[in-house]
Amino acid sequence: MKVFEIHNSDDINKVRAFLEKCASRIAADGEDESREAAVRAIIHAVRDQGDAAVSEYTKRFDGVDLSASQFELTPKDIDAAINQVPKHVIAMLERAQENIRAFHARNLRESWEESAADGSMYGQRITPIESAGVYVPGGKAFYPSSVLMNIVPARVAGVKEISMVSPPSYNGSVHPAVVAAAKLAGATRIFRVGGAQAIAALAFGTDTIPAVVKITGPGNAYVTKAKALVRGAVDIDSEAGPSEVAVIADAKANPHHVAAELLAQAEHDEDAMCLLFTPSKELAKATLKRVRERAAKMVRAEIITKSLERFGAVIIVPDMDAAIALVNFVAPEHLSVQTEYAQRIADKIINAGAIMLGAMTPVAVGDYYAGPNHILPTMRRARYSSPLSAEDFRKVTNVMFYSRERLLRDAHDIEEMASLEGLEAHAESVTVRIKDVR
């Protein structure tokens, strides 16, 4: 991990330059262009050839030969998968699902309308989108938590049709825990299809896989690129980047806790960003020591080491205000505040996807169980975007009604605005009505 110590404005500029580099950590232009070309070809093939293209790419990329009739898991397949999951795991998934459901139910807005004495009315009608497609990574890895975090909010929002896609393993199956989580959360259909071909199928539909209105869920660089390219044909949640954590800690923080938080994000992938901001040199030193000790012994030691070497840093700040300013600048996906007065620090943070307060709130609490969504903005997007919520699966329609009295009162202003913009027919649409009622 890099170590920065801030004494003056030049030091601040160096840190900000490093943070900008971290926040924009993407593939080189040539690599990204090559990936985009490959993904465009997949999308076009699926759009033109449907299920045949999905089968071809599944065989090429996943090594599994599936016909279109084998894409969807049957009720028998689903029951068989669930029966493989230990009962205590099912119980855990049920508890996590209920926490997520309760949290997301709290932030639902309601339709409203307001009437005036003259009989006019305006308001907003809030309705769920008709369908959603959820992408869940698969293959060697499996993520039942991602299943819950995507499907439960959609179900809370009232979405009726929820299709989940996930890449098949070498034997053509989807991990039983993923299937169990999908069933618990409320998926209506489950498909053993992944990659850019699955995104294209959800966006444009095939004979077997229905087109949806919105696609959510994390994936690799090809899946992320596919989501970006189909945006417009459908809505998407976000273009997710690599994992991020920033920790603000004071001298009283436990270096083992701080190190554990950095390591937990570093093990995700080599592009994960892991930052510590502290005014304490002693804590910085102890944390670095603990990170080195634990990283070497972990199963994913190579990934952790590369991540911390590339995008890991300890920034020794003159005071907490400097730490807060830098965190607001980098806008991390996760922020862990391990200080004596954590709430006071958090009150000054305006740019972060999720804030974990205090020594007893590891990021894993939010990743898996507490209820808030773990699908969070990355790459500094927390400056202007939000975590996934049930509201992301709903839409607003404005509704208005004008009485005769109200139109007579407002007609002149409306006609004048239309004339000001040179839109004669707009003005006339008001004038003709006024003539009829006078």
Q: Which amino acid is at 101?
A: R
Spatial distance between the Cα atoms of 393 and 403, rounded to a whole number of angstroms: 33
Tokens of 183: 């069933």
Give the pLDDT confidence score for residue 240 in this predicted structure.
80
pTM exceeds 0.85 for this model: yes
Give the pLDDT confidence score for residue 146 in this predicted structure.
95
Query: What average pLDDT score do residues 175-194 get?
Result: 97
Helices (H), 320-362: 320-330, 342-346
Catalogue all structural domains in the chain, each as residue range(s) with its CATH number.
2-25+242-370 (3.40.50.1980), 34-236 (3.40.50.1980), 402-437 (no CATH)
Residue 366: which H helix or E strand, with range? helix 363-368
In terms of Cβ atoms closer than 10 Å to its own Cβ (0-12, 13-18, 19+), residue 318 is middle
* pLDDT > 60? residue 96: yes
* pLDDT > 50? residue 171: yes
Per-residue pLDDT reduced to its tens digit, 187-219:
999 999 999 999 999 999 999 999 999 999 998
Query: What average pLDDT score do residues 300-319 get?
Result: 95
Backbone φ and ψ for 62, nearest 5 degrees, come out as -105, -10
* pLDDT > 50? residue 71: yes
Give the pLDDT confidence score for residue 26 in this predicted structure.
60
Query: What average pLDDT score do residues 240-256 get?
Result: 95
- Closest listed residue to residue 196, CA positions, set 224, 217, 215, 168: 224
Give the pLDDT confidence score for residue 416 in this predicted structure.
96
Give the pLDDT band of residue 142 (cuts 50, 70, 90): confident
* pLDDT > 80? residue 139: no
Contact indicator for 356, 339 with CB cutoff of 8 Å: no
* pLDDT > 60? residue 28: no
Give the pLDDT confidence score for residue 436 in this predicted structure.
73
Report the interhelical angle of 29-49 vs 195-204 (nearest 10°).
Answer: 50
- Closest listed residue to residue 311, CA positions, set 349, 382, 353, 262: 262
Query: What average pLDDT score do residues 270-288 get?
Result: 96
Give the pLDDT band of residue 31 (cuts 50, 70, 90): low
Query: What average pLDDT score do residues 391-402 get?
Result: 97
Instruction: State the Rg of the chain over Cα.
Output: 26
Residue with tokens 């996934």: 388
Give the pLDDT confidence score for residue 30 in this predicted structure.
54
**Helix (H) and strand (E) counts in the chain:** 17, 14
| Active site amino acids | 333-334
Give the pLDDT confidence score for residue 438 in this predicted structure.
64
Backbone φ and ψ for 245, nearest 5 degrees, come out as -145, 140
In percent, the amount of the chain with pLDDT more than 90 equals 91
